[in-house]
Structure 1
Amino acid sequence: MRADATRNVEAVLRAAARVFSTDPLARISDVAAAAGVDKRTVYRRFESREELLLAVYRARLDRLAALIDATLDDRPVRDALLAFAEGGIRLSRDWPVDIRAVTDPAIRDRREELDARMDAFLRRVEREGVIASGLPGGWSLRVLQTQLHTVAQEMPSLEPGVAARLVVRTFLHGVGV
């Protein structure tokens, strides 16, 4: 794909993520306008609104996979958790579509695979005594995801680094005194 075509696809996907997050029934012409391209440009790459939406979900999941690869490594768990939280907040702000209720089997399977990778990291955090053990399966993952989603979408004035530190502190210690 030519460099300008690649830039156009990226602009369309990012615009679609923003547009669909605020108006799930938005039309391709709305996305094209937000991306600054003609709607024919969008239709050359995506045959339908549904195909475009699935491409947005795949793009978000690709970014999440890259974030997991880059942050949830062998570094100390608190450092990894902080790096993931900051990256997760940025990702959620750049790609604000919610993939939790997507029913497409391929998207759902990919999300479950990434959730499993994150859950494996959180089990490491638990084994190292940083978070409580014996919690119901998936609890820590859902708490972390909910905090990241909430701060990313509902507190946009918080700078990602500051927000990440608050999320990690709350995740590890709660909001008690």
Structure 2
Amino acid sequence: MRADATRNVEAVLRAAAQVFSADPQARIPDVAAAAGVDRRTVYRRFESREDLLLAVYRTRLDHLESLIASTLEDSRPPREALLTFCAGGIRLSRDWPADIRAVADPGIRRRREELDERMEAFLRRAGVVAPGLPNGWALRVLQTQLHTAAQETSLEPAAAAELVVRTFLHGVSV
């Protein structure tokens, strides 16, 4: 793919993530306008709105997979890895706000479950999951906190990550 075509696809995907997040009923012309391209440019690459949405979800998962690999699967101390992951996760959610939790596509769902398993394994290895918690509970709590922190744009990702990790590890009580 030519460099300008690659830039256009990236711009379309980023715009689509933002546009569909703000307006789930948005159409391809809305995405094209936000990306600064002609709608024909979008249709040349994506046959339908659904194809474009799936591409956004796949791209978000690509970024999440890279984040997991670069932060949770190395030898750094667990709190440092968690802080770095959370800051990256907050940036990822702000850049790619498309919610993939309810996506029905089997490939997307399977990939999300695999990534969740990798994150859950990290939390267990790090020793931050209290005994007796149901499987997946700690991860869901962390994901909910990350989602909330991503919405709180008054906090920079590093500060938001520190707040998330502190709350996740120690709770909110005195």
TM-score of the two chains, using structure 1 as the length reference: 0.96
Report what 2:16 is aligned to. Answer: 16
- Aligned counterpart in structure 2 of residue 162 of structure 1, from 159, 164, 167: 159
Report what 1:123 is aligned to. Answer: 124
Shift of 1:131: 4.1
Alignment partners' CA distance in 2, 1:109 and 1:122:
20
Is 1:175 aligned to 2:172, yes or no? yes
Report what 2:115 is aligned to. Answer: 114
1:5-154 to structure 2, matched below 5 A, reads 5-72=5-72, 73-126=74-127, 130-153=128-151
Shift of 1:66: 0.3
2:164 maps to amino acid: V
Please tell me the root mean square deviation across aligned C-alpha atoms, in Å.
0.7
Alignment partners' CA distance in 2, 1:131 and 1:59:
29
Shift of 1:176: 0.8
- 1:28-51 Cα distance to aligned partner (Å, 9 max, x none): 000000000000000000000000
CA contact (8 A) 1:12 1:32 kept: yes
Which blocks of at least 5 consecutive residues in structure 2 are unaligned? none
Shift of 1:134: 2.2
1:122 maps to amino acid: L
Alignment partners' CA distance in 1, 2:125 and 2:140:
16
1:3 maps to amino acid: A
1:59 maps to amino acid: T
CA contact (8 A) 1:12 1:31 kept: yes
Secondary structure (helix, strand or coil) at the match of 1:134 reads coil
Alignment partners' CA distance in 2, 1:136 and 1:47:
42
TM-score of the two chains, using structure 2 as the length reference: 0.98
Shift of 1:133: 2.2
Shift of 1:111: 0.3
Secondary structure (helix, strand or coil) at the match of 2:162 reads helix
**What percent of counterpart residues are identical?**
79
CA contact (8 A) 1:131 1:172 kept: no
- 1:105-125 Cα distance to aligned partner (Å, 9 max, x none): 000000001001001101112
Dislocated runs of 4+, deviation >3 Å? none
Alignment partners' CA distance in 1, 2:115 and 2:75:
17
Alignment partners' CA distance in 1, 2:5 and 2:66:
22
Task: Report the number of matched residues.
Answer: 173
1:17 maps to amino acid: A
Shift of 1:132: 1.9
